[in-house]
Amino acid sequence: MSEMGGHVAAYRISKAALNALTLIMAHELRDSNIKVNAVCPSWVSTEMGGGLAPISPSDAAKDIVHFAMLDDTGPTGGFFRFRRPIPW
């Protein structure tokens, strides 16, 4: 059994679904001023992440807010960690 109680596959599948939804919504909204991006905050010190996680919730929130506040020239349909694109 894994540290996540045997739910690793479900967790990973949910992240893949989120990434797919990000791409689909970005494509469907491409002619609007709405940006759709996914942000991976990394390993965050929360109840789920545990006390050893190096990222505080407030630091993780800064990147999420950054992408929520993009102007018209910002990216859409991307996946980001620490404000840099990442593959999925």
SS3 assignment, position 11: helix
Q: What digits encode the pLDDT tens for the residues 58-77? A: 999 999 999 999 999 999 99
Question: For the chain, how long is the longest CA-to-CA vector?
Answer: 46
> What pLDDT, in 10s, does the model give residues 11-62?
889 999 999 999 999 999 999 999 999 999 999 999 988 889 999 999 999 9
Note the pLDDT of residue 4.
54
Residue 74 has a pLDDT of 96
Query: What confidence score (pLDDT) does residue 28 get?
Result: 98
Whole-number pLDDT of residue 88 = 79
So where are the chain's domains?
Answer: 8-85
Kindly report whether the global pTM for this prediction surpasses the value 0.75: yes
> Quick one: CA dihedral 41, 44, 47, 48, positive or negative?
positive
Q: E strand or H helix at 62, and its extent?
A: helix 57-68
The span from the CA of 71 to the CA of 73, in Å, is 5
pLDDT of residue 35: 97
